[in-house]
Amino acid sequence: MRCQRRRSTEPSRLALERAPRSRRQSRPPAPPTLQSTAVSLPLSALKRDFLVHLAEERHASPHTVSAYGRDLDALLAFVAARADARPASRSRARDASAAAALDLYVLRAWLGELARTCKPTSVARKIASVRSFGRWLKRHGHARVNPAEQLASPKVRRELPTFLSAEDAASVVESPSSAAVHPAVALRDRALLELLYAGGLRVSEASGLDLDQLELGERTARVLGKGRKERVVPLGRAATAALAAWIAARDALAHPRTRQLDPRAVFVSTRGRRLGPRAIQLLVRRYGLEGAGRADLHPHALRHTCATHLLDGGADLRAIQEVLGHSSLSTTQRYTHVSVAHLLTVYDSAHPLAKRKRVE
């Protein structure tokens, strides 16, 4: 009688060798994380080093450094809150190391939270901040990969920039002359508005302008723009005259008690200190309401107005790019738009149908 071979119930050697491989293949792939390649440091310490890098090596403006810092602080707070909600992750929350705290799933959860409370423009800016931080971590050996590179930015609808008509712009610029303020304040405000409109300066550039950057005899100003790039901005005769009148009266705004006065700043407050961006924004809003009935007027609208009126007057985009200090011409094309009146003028002079006599 032929004996039947009993099938062994013990796993074969081949099965034992294959089992671990099979189990590995069945596991879902781990999400990309900021895996540390060096000593794992807390994210808070890495964030501080990154902000120093922005300020000292990239020459970013204080406003930019502050904005990046706020974005990263919000991310770190989200990571800590998410870890605290999971008891098993509390040790990682205390560490908050790049390798343990951040991965693509966490970043997407953070963006989902932002999408419920922030505008698409704000979300896009925060994504850009985190991407830049991730690139810095990878470049300096704190991470092998940057999961933020896989984040998709929301589509941002670019609205046409707001600008004033020539009449409204003149009315806003002349408003300080009739305002019930100290004579020196009126001269200061008139000079500031003339400069914003004539030179198209950013609010941070106007705030940071120093006396030695003005060349009133040549009707120019050397402006320190984004990335600490210097450019020469031409000034109109009205702006030059307004600046000269203000500088002559500038000492009147020294501190009333200590008589201290910032020796470098072009624009100072009634206490002799450099006029900050927020003060300039409030000033423009006030005169926008008084001069043009625009309670929402902001300094950047005067920058748009400068560019639009230059374009309407025949200046080409390259010249406007130099005045505004844009590194890319495409940026100038976004910031400047052609008025309807200018379009009609060009159309009437260029299109053959527009030149034909109207049929009665």
Which residues have CB under 8 Å from 325's CB, separation 6+?
A: 223, 225, 226, 229, 231
Tokens read off for 155: 């589509």
Contact 275, 268 (CB under 8 A): yes
Instruction: Report the C-alpha gap between 43 and 110 in whole angstroms.
Output: 16
The residues, ordered by sequence, that sit 6+ positions from 266 with a Cβ below 8 Å of its Cβ are 209, 210, 211, 213, 214, 243, 247
SS (H, E, C) the chain: CCCCCCCCCCCCHHHHHHHHHHHHHHCCCCCCECCCCCCCCEHHHHHHHHHHHHHHCCCCCHHHHHHHHHHHHHHHHHHHHHHHCCHHHHHHHHHCEHHHHCEHHHHHHHHHHHHHHCCHHHHHHHHHHHHHHHHHHHHCCCCCCCHHHHCCCCCCCCCCCCCCCHHHHHHHHHHHHHCCCCHHHHHHHHHHHHHHHHHCCCHHHHHCCEHHHEECCCCEEEEECHHHCEEEEECCHHHHHHHHHHHHHHHHHCCCCCCCCCCCECCECCCCCECCHHHHHHHHHHHHHHHHCCCCCCHHHHHHHHHHHHHHCCCCHHHHHHHHCCCCHHHHHHHCCCCHHHHHHHHHHHCHHHHCCCCC
Structure tokens at 270: 């009634």
Q: Which residues are catalytic?
A: 202, 226, 300, 303, 326, 335
Give me the half-sphere count of Cα atoms (radius 13 Å) on the Cβ side of residue 315. Answer: 18
